[in-house]
């Protein structure tokens, strides 16, 4: 949507988005005062914002090369490309944009939060990961950016991401509709029933993941039994955002690991009981430049980081979110 990260529009967007996320799994009673009702109202305000942005773009008042623009071009009724039947209406476009935002934002945020927590608690894994990223950084020409092929060649990072998604199980359940009658462990399931998968139990089953509470990325060195790891689901409804999510997480890890170290400001292992599982305290940390001795680029490189204006900062939830 090319919204700027600050400003009035963004604040309104953020406020409505937060209401939608928190009301997402509420009981569907459209009665004033219920969470569902608040969610529907926030969704309508969000749709009104999309309407005005879409109208603005259609009048040619602004051109941005972004996701919204490609949707609008592909589904414009004025272009000859494709049959009209394949084209989404504006209402469908807005639904799709909102679905992607809802499905893609909190999940990725939660994954990054858990990852920072698990790495801090597992210094051996952190060291191994740091080695992988410092080696990539070391090979690069000075000042060049991370390349696509580098991102696709981070084997240990991939294992760390999978192990994070297994231990945290960000989406603790999702459902399927039974395509036919069947029996499972003596229970009869009828065609058409909704079947919820208890992914937390699957991810912590010692038959598939020995010592399941242990954070051990190396367990992903061996091929997994099909359907035992469901961090992004499986089958035709598997998460379509898997590659984007992995890309975002890998780029974030690279910059964090190469330049900084961090310490938690609070110790609290409780989990927020929402649809997307998150540490309850959102895991606030104090971030500082990495130590010289852990940097294979040598003391000069670390000194340059230390001389930056803001060397120490704290990542914590905003006051009203706590
Ligand atoms: C670490 C980040 C993410 C995790 C852990 C995650 C996890 C999941 C899981 C477990 C499912 C259910 C899959 C199934 O039923 O088999 C799912 C579905 C989905 N995800 Fe993600 N996801 C992430 C990021 C994203 C991103 C970045 C996007 C898009 C921008 C996205 C879009 C979707 C959509 C649209 C669905 C529904 C697919 C369908 O029902 O056909 N996700 N995701």
SS3 per-residue string spanning the chain: CCCCCCCHHHHHHHHHHHHHHHHCCCCCCCCCCCHHHHHHHHHHHHHHHHHHHHHHHHCCCCCCCCHHHHHHHHCCCCCCCCCHHHCCCHHHHHHHHHHHHHHHHHHHHHHHHHHHHHHHHCHHHHHHHHHHHHHHHHHCCCCCCCCHHHHCCCHHHHHHHHHHHHHHCCCCEEEEECCCCEEECCEEECCCCEEEEEHHHHHCCCCCCCCCCCCCHHHHHCCCCCCCCCCCCCHHHCCCCHHHHHHHHHHHHHHHHHHEEEEECCCCCCEECCCCCEECCCCCEEEEECCHHHCCCCHHHHHHHHCCCCCCEEECCCHHHC
Distance 102 CA to ligand 1 centre (A): 10
Q: pLDDT at residue 79 above 90? A: no
Q: Which atom of ligand 1 is nearest to the CA of 105?
A: 27
Q: Mean pLDDT over residues 173-195, rounded?
A: 95
Question: Ligand 1, from 232, 246, 250, 276: best to mutate by most atoms within 8 Å of Cβ?
Answer: 232
Q: Which atom of ligand 1 is nearest to the CA of 235?
A: 16
Question: What tens digit of pLDDT does each residue of 100-131 get?
Answer: 999 999 999 999 999 999 999 999 999 999 99
Question: Which residue did the predictor score with more confidence, 84 or 252?
Answer: 252
Q: 295 among the known binding-site residues?
A: no
pLDDT band at residue 305 under the 50/70/90 scheme = very low
Q: Is the CB of 240 under 6 A from ligand 1?
A: yes
User: Of all residues in the chain, what percent carry a pLDDT higher than 90?
Assistant: 65
Q: Which atom of ligand 1 is nearest to the CA of 246?
A: 1
Q: Give the pLDDT confidence score for residue 308 in this predicted structure.
A: 45
pLDDT band at residue 304 under the 50/70/90 scheme = very low
Q: Give the pLDDT confidence score for residue 86 in this predicted structure.
A: 79
Give pTM, 2 decimals. Answer: 0.87
Q: Give the pLDDT confidence score for residue 268 in this predicted structure.
A: 87
Q: Whose CA is nearest to atom 40 of ligand 1?
A: 237
Q: Is the CB of 239 under 6 A from ligand 1?
A: yes
Question: What tens digit of pLDDT does each residue of 131-176 get?
Answer: 999 999 988 877 788 999 999 999 999 999 999 999 999 999 999 9
Q: Is the CB of 115 under 6 A from ligand 1?
A: no
């Amino acid at each position: 949507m090319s919204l700027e990260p600050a400003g009035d529009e963004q604040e309104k967007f953020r406020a409505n988005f937060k209401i939608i996320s928190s009301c997402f799994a509420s009981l569907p009673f459209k009665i004033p005062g219920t969470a569902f009702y608040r969610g529907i109202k926030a969704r309508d305000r969000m749709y009104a914002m999309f309407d005005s942005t879409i109208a603005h773009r259609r009048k040619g008042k602004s051109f941005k090369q972004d996701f919204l623009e490609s949707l609008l071009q592909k589904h414009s009724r004025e272009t000859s490309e494709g049959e009209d039947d394949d084209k989404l209406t504006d209402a469908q476009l807005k639904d799709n944009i909102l679905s992607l935002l809802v499905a893609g934002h909190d999940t990725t945020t939660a994954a990054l939060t858990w990852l920072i927590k698990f790495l801090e608690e597992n210094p051996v894994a952190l060291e191994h990961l740091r080695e992988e990223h410092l080696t990539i950084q070391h090979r690069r020409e000075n000042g060049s950016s991370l390349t696509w092929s580098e991102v696709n060649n981070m084997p240990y990072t991939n294992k760390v991401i999978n192990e994070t998604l297994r231990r945290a199980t960000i989406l603790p359940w999702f459902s399927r509709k039974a395509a036919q009658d069947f029996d499972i462990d003596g229970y009869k399931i009828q065609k058409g029933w909704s079947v919820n998968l208890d992914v937390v139990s699957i991810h912590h089953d010692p038959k598939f993941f020995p010592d399941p509470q242990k954070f051990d990325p190396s367990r992903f060195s061996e091929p997994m039994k099909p359907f035992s790891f469901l961090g992004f689901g499986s089958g035709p409804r598997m998460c379509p955002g898997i590659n984007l999510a992995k890309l975002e997480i890998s780029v974030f890890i690279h910059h964090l690991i190469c330049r900084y170290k961090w310490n938690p400001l609070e110790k609290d292992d409780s989990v927020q009981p929402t649809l997307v599982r998150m540490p309850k305290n959102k895991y606030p940390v104090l971030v500082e430049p990495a130590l010289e001795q852990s940097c294979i680029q040598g003391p000069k490189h670390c000194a340059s980081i230390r001389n930056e204006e803001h060397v120490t900062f704290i990542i914590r939830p905003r006051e009203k979110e706590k």
